[in-house]
Amino acid sequence: MEWIVISFLILNVLMVLVIGSLLYSLSKRGDERRNFIQMKTMADTFLITVGILIIDILFTVYNVTINDGSITKNSPFILLFVISVVFLISLLLNKRKYGD
């Protein structure tokens, strides 16, 4: 039972660190290449986020119409964590591709 609490706390700390690194990387100033990399990363993240939300809507419609009719609530903190992870992965890939 104690390992569940410890793993939950570690997961929460990890989420806060990833979200903090997202905000930190957005706040940096840079030249045109860095701005291009950030804009490309933000565009990729936006498309993936819209895709995640569309899939979530489809699952909700499926649950309401086909299943028992209950709607599950999703945590906005988890969604923010997923968006932050997608942003950081996309940022690393774009930095490797376009150089920084």
pLDDT digits (tens, 9 = 90+) for 20-49: 887 787 777 778 888 888 899 999 999 999
CB 97 within 8 A of CB 44: no
List b or e across 36-48, with b for residues whose CB sees 16 or more CB atoms inside 10 angstroms.
Answer: ebbebbeebbeeb
pTM above 0.85, yes or no: no
Q: List for the chain the helix, strand, coil content (%; round to 5).
A: 85, 0, 15
Cα separation, 22 vs 39, in Å, equals: 14
Tokens of 95: 């930095």
